[in-house]
Amino acid sequence: MENFVLENPTKIIFGRDTIAGLGKEAAVFGQKVLLVYGQGSIKKNGIYSEVENSLQAAGLTIIQHGGVKSNPTLAFVRKGIELAKLHEIDVVIAVGGGSVIDTAKAISAGAVVEHDVWKFFSGKKGISSPLPIACVLTLAASGSEMNGGMVITNEEKGLKVGTGNKKLCPRFSILDPGATFSVPPDYTAYGAVDAISHTLEFYFTCRGDNTCVQDRFMEGLIINIMEACDKALLDPHNYSARANLMWCATMALNGWTSAGLGWVGFPMHMIEHAMSAKHDVPHGAGLSAVIPAWMRWQAERQPAKIAQFARRVFNIAAADEKGAAMQGIERLTAWFTQVHSPTTYKGLGIPRTTINELAENSQFQAKI
């Protein structure tokens, strides 16, 4: 167990009918709200009016910034920063999934500085005192609702880059599992893959020898995510399945799983971000195409940990390490296929000829 400090400032308000409390919670931070949301799902499923009613009942002024696209872009962030400065916004509220929340985070950081917001992503500037951010989560996936990370695509440079700072942690996030009933099967599955990948990145790249607490915590999250996803795909309105999926996805990337692991990497994400930047694939779909290949590569170097994963998550009985590791990878790949998340490059519709370009792109990101 390595030394660590774990401090997560986000207040989580979890459960049924919690969106009604948004206005009262947000009013603590001021009167003027920049409301950031996606391409329209919240207008179709009724969440938009719940949010608007709650903010108006609390006497707050709403400035709209709707239209965030999946794999959110720098251009849209810059427009949001202009709005935030023009209207002297007090709090930025994200209603959506990771793309919306990350956009809100970038706006909140860029709205209080004179330099371009991309300087935070290129490492040229540090994040000082962003505007307060709050979230209403509508998709169980990224974990952005309870961490200080943000990932934005610079469409001019063809780069998708993440950066982070504890000050970007939302002040509060409302997690109502009912808000995810309308998530379609593909994004239910992609979100589960993303959450699983957040644990795998730490599980396989940590270097310490005494990681049994974190290992079993992550193994439990993975088992629960697969079970909950299967149930939510069978019945999208299964509240318990949606609640378990939502809370596991948040726990998978809020600092708890990696506490005490010391150094950890994010290699599968580095590769996937290049794919999303260049080919605009859904983040979770890109990951399910990367994970099996990356795990087979890793099994050549570190069969023991992959064999442990196989034995504990999939009850693989094979005696030899390599055999168990390969069977575990096959079982995980079979689950991706079962939930219709692509497991190969071809499955994503990306031509193999682009492999070198993607390798360069992901290496460039890793150096930033």
Give 63's strand partners.
34
Q: Binding pattern to Zn ion, positions 149-188, x when CB under 5 A?
A: ----------------------------------------
> Which lies closer to ligand NZQ via its Cβ, residue 281 or residue 325?
281
Q: Which of residues 25, 90, 176, 194 is near Zn ion by CB under 5 A?
A: 194
CA distance 275 to 25: 38
Binding site for ligand NZQ (CB under 6 A): 38-42, 45, 70-72, 96-100, 102, 138-139, 141-144, 147, 149-151, 179-180, 182-183, 187, 191, 194, 253, 269, 283-284
Residues 6+ apart with CB under 8 A from 36: 65, 66, 68, 80, 92, 93, 94, 95, 96, 100, 103, 104, 107
**201 interacts with Zn ion by CB under 5 A:** no
CB of 83 to ligand NZQ, least distance (A): 18
CB of 70 to ligand NZQ, least distance (A): 3
Task: Name the residue nearer to ligand NZQ (CB basis): 170 or 303.
Answer: 170
What's the closest the beta carbon of residue 218 comes to Zn ion, in angstroms? 15
CA distance 150 to 161: 8
163 three-class SS: strand
CB within 8 Å of 211: residues ≥ 6 apart: 1, 260, 261
Nearest position to ligand NZQ, beta carbon: 38
Q: Can you tell me which residue has the tokens 């720098």? A: 74
CA separation, residue 336 to residues 2, 222, 277, 294, 328 (Å): 33, 13, 22, 15, 13
Q: How far is the CB of 138 from ligand NZQ (least distance, A)?
A: 4
Q: How far is the CB of 137 from ligand NZQ (least distance, A)?
A: 8
Q: Which is nearer to ligand NZQ, 97 or 292 (CB)?
A: 97
Residues that bind Zn ion (CB under 5 A): 194
